[in-house]
Structure 1
Amino acid sequence: MALFANQMASSTALTRPLRIGLIVGETSGAILALGMVKQILALQPNCEIEGIGSAALNELGMRSLFDMSELSVMGLVEVIKHLPRLLHIRKSIVKHFLDNPPDVFIGVDAPDFNLRVEIALKAAGIPTVHYVSPTVWAWREKRIHKIAKATNLVMGILPFEQQIYDKHDIPFKFVGHTMADDVPLIVDQKKARKLLDLGQEITDNTPILALLPGSRAREIDSLLAIFLETFAKLKEKEPDLRAVIPAVNEARMQQIKQTLSENIHKHHIYVSKKPARDVMIAANVVLLASGTAALEAMLCKRPMVVAYIMPSITYMVMKRMYKPDYFALPNILANEQLVPEYLQEDVNASNLASELNRVWRQDPAITCAMIDKFMSIHKSLKCNADVESAKAVLGLTSYAVNAGSSLQEHS
């Protein structure tokens, strides 16, 4: 009788829609979530997803209860400024999922927001997954205990994280990075330039500098003017040099254009709505704000210089608490200074132009060695992340019984 009841419960679970709670905090996390969700939907078309997501996730049928941009705040000052609204959103989200329990909840990155949500939901018996390990290896290591309390599974994108979670006996799965799967090991620069469609002035031989000053308004405010001055310095030696700036959305497009209109170094610069990846592949060298873009530039096999300016208070705190020797992702993955990186007052046009020239033009041996190591790291991250993450999520639900063979078909 008990066996029959269990079979009936399982049958009911598999005929009703799979309910997934999902919260994505920013653009980089949305890229990971999108690939994972596509694989889940390929297996379970009868699926309901709601929470907070990107426009692309909403187009797949996700129902967003709040706009993702409201969570895209960084630094102590910005978080404090938006704290009342963030607390309201978190309280509302937790209440919604407690009243309407999903079969599984996935928090993608944004640990300061998502872990609190996960703690409440896990305590209520809802399976929880955190996608992208918080940087416990870099700072605030004691968060590992909070992570254990919050999650049934952590899915990581960096290979060295496994040993940290094994040490604390916390369920963890390294899934690789979806961008490493999407970006070819050998990229096609000519094709990328055609996709950008910048006009007849840009030929296959035109030197191009990709400028990526960040995806947030504060980042562009702090970095773009310096990046433009850097471009001007490079043009003194490379008069044919052109720059392309990808805009992540319409708001950033308008902000970039406004900054350009007020800047003396605005000539021979193109602003593009094309994906940053296409811009980087089309370019010869990249100057960018630290973050996921540095990982993507590495996967595109482009020499780069990484820079970042954070609020002074945030920097003072991070300087005391941050443990690694590097902050750029390629350097963290390589465990050596593979690419030049600059912070705070060291972010100036003289430093940036000098380093860009060195990694691009001055020493071909340095450039070749850098690209070889980029290739090695790329291969280590190429693990079919979308499929692996989908399998891991479904493994926490009753829908896992159907997951095996179908997932392999979509790999």
Structure 2
Amino acid sequence: MSVSRPLRVAILAGELSGDILGADLMSALLKRFPDAEFEGIGGPRMLSAGLKSLYPQEALSIMGLIEVLPHLFSLVRARNRLRDHWLANPPDVFVGIDAPDFNLGLEVVLRKAGILTVHYVSPSVWAWKQWRLKKIARAVDHMLTLLPFEADFYKRSGIPVTYVGHPLAEQIPLTVEQASSRLLLGLNADRPVLGVLPGSRGGEVKRLGEIFIQAAKLCQQQLPELQVVLVPANEKREAELRAIGFPGQWICATAQASQCMAASNALLVASGTVTLEAALYKRPMVIAYRLAALTYRIARRMVKVAHIGLPNLLAGKRLVPELIQDEVTPDRVAQQLLPMLREPFSGPLIEEFTALHHLLRAGGGETAADTIERLLIERGTLCR
């Protein structure tokens, strides 16, 4: 299959979890179209894969109903600039990765202009905001979902969809060796390790950082031999956590979440994609999340699911503890973590995580690239 010029792909990932997906998809597309050109918004992985950045990713990494308000003008301005750029220079396909509040509005305009639009990572419409389905139907030619039950939901709603699984399920082996990661992080191989991952957004660190640090200190008081690895998502988050303050003997492993997970006995994580990665590493975890008070009061009335953590959502039951809003205190968190740190990994829990791992091995970026190629052929952009 070929085009008479390089394939032009507009691609936009609003945060670090989307950067993983975007880079994986770009790699798969480059196998099919070695001269493909990519431009948009992404993180370090996508930039390394060849993305021409049109706007910094950090500017989009804002979550919440109320939290976004101070940034609304700059977000609207960024979206308008991107809209005007792509309307004047139409790509062959636009791929919006997650960030639905930003991407869907952009997709509506681009699709109306005749540009193929693909949305990668379903908005959580099955949990809340089901009224958004009408906008999704106007915005996207095709939805790519990470989770199988999401695909079923869209099929019932008549929206074209493909379940692709998660690329991390392909990249992470079913059994992960612990000793080498401990060696790389400078940890003692024979002492327990707690990994602390307080989120990739500034708001998450602001609301969870101090609580997570205090909870880890309480665990260390009960288990003096405990080693703690703190994982800021990037240098900016590291500076924010250092301003909060943490013991100098802790390992600060900025942007090394995977190594930390492999090395740890248990994890303390902010709710998000990182919980899925932790499950793929087969590590017990405590999931915690706090929102701005008004955002939480609004969301509590609208959310229709029993769990917030992806491992629990996928399993349809509570595999690991979840603490939300006022439940997230240093004492409560430490109480949940200590049994995980004192006991070896649970056989039944590992079996549950392994089943999820197999479920999520649906091709990831390769399946997503196959779908995009098929859509381009059907549209006539590519020749058979």
Q: Does 1:178 pair with 2:157? A: no
Q: Does 1:259 pair with 2:244? A: yes
Q: Does 1:126 pair with 2:111? A: no
2:315 corresponding residue in structure 1: 334
2:180 corresponding residue in structure 1: 191
Q: Does 1:214 pair with 2:199? A: yes
Contact map agreement 2:192 2:341 (CA 8 A) in 1: no
What is the identity percentage for the equivalent residue pairs of Structure 1 and Structure 2? 39
The code of the aligned residue for 1:320 comes to: R
Tell me the distance in 2 between the aligned counterparts of 1:267 and 1:55. Answer: 28
Q: Quick one: which of 18, 21, 30 aligns to 2:7? A: 18
Alignment of 1:46-57 (within 5 A): 46-57=35-46
Residues 361-399 of structure 1, C-alpha deviation per residue, up to 9 Å, x if partnerless?
35x6x8322221011111100122111011111222246
Report deviation, 1:60: 2.5
2:294 corresponding residue in structure 1: 313
Report deviation, 1:55: 2.7
2:347 corresponding residue in structure 1: 368
Which shifted more, 331-340 or 225-234? 225-234
Runs of 4+ in 1 over 6 A off after TM superposition: none
Report deviation, 1:36: 0.6
2:357 corresponding residue in structure 1: 378
1:272 corresponding residue in structure 2: 253
Contact map agreement 1:360 1:367 (CA 8 A) in 2: no
The code of the aligned residue for 2:328 comes to: V
Q: TM-score, normalised by structure 2?
A: 0.95
Report deviation, 1:400: 5.3
Contact map agreement 2:62 2:203 (CA 8 A) in 1: no
Residues 212-249 of structure 1, C-alpha deviation per residue, up to 9 Å, x if partnerless?
01111221122121112212221232110010012221
Q: Quick one: which of 345, 352, 359 aligns to 2:340? A: 359
Report deviation, 1:267: 4.7
Report deviation, 1:250: 1.4
Alignment of 1:135-214 (within 5 A): 135-196=124-185, 198=186, 202-214=187-199
- Structure 2: runs of 5+ lacking an equivalent: none
Q: Quick one: which of 35, 38, 53 aligns to 2:27? A: 38
Report deviation, 1:274: 5.0
Contact map agreement 1:231 1:353 (CA 8 A) in 2: yes
Between the two proteins, the alignment pairs up a number of residues equal to 381
Q: Quick one: which of 210, 215, 224 aligns to 1:239? A: 224
Q: Does 1:91 pair with 2:80? A: yes
1:392 corresponding residue in structure 2: 371
Which shifted more, 267-276 or 15-24? 267-276
Contact map agreement 2:19 2:44 (CA 8 A) in 1: no
The code of the aligned residue for 2:365 comes to: D
Report deviation, 1:47: 1.3
RMSD of aligned alpha carbons? 1.6
Tell me the distance in 2 between the aligned counterparts of 1:235 and 1:124. Answer: 58
1:112 corresponding residue in structure 2: 101
Residues 257-281 of structure 1, C-alpha deviation per residue, up to 9 Å, x if partnerless?
2222xx5xx2531101352011011
Where 1:77 maps in the other structure, the secondary structure is coil
Which shifted more, 266-275 or 249-258? 266-275
The code of the aligned residue for 1:377 comes to: L
Report deviation, 1:178: 0.6
The code of the aligned residue for 2:349 comes to: M
Tell me the distance in 2 between the aligned counterparts of 1:337 and 1:350. Answer: 21
Bigger Rg over Cα: 1
Which shifted more, 389-398 or 283-292? 389-398
The code of the aligned residue for 1:165 comes to: Y
Where 1:142 maps in the other structure, the secondary structure is helix
Contact map agreement 1:245 1:269 (CA 8 A) in 2: yes
Residues 135-182 of structure 1, C-alpha deviation per residue, up to 9 Å, x if partnerless?
111000111111111111000000111221111111000000011111
Tell me the distance in 1 between the aligned counterparts of 2:105 and 2:255. Answer: 35
Tell me the distance in 2 between the aligned counterparts of 1:401 and 1:24. Answer: 28
1:103 corresponding residue in structure 2: 92
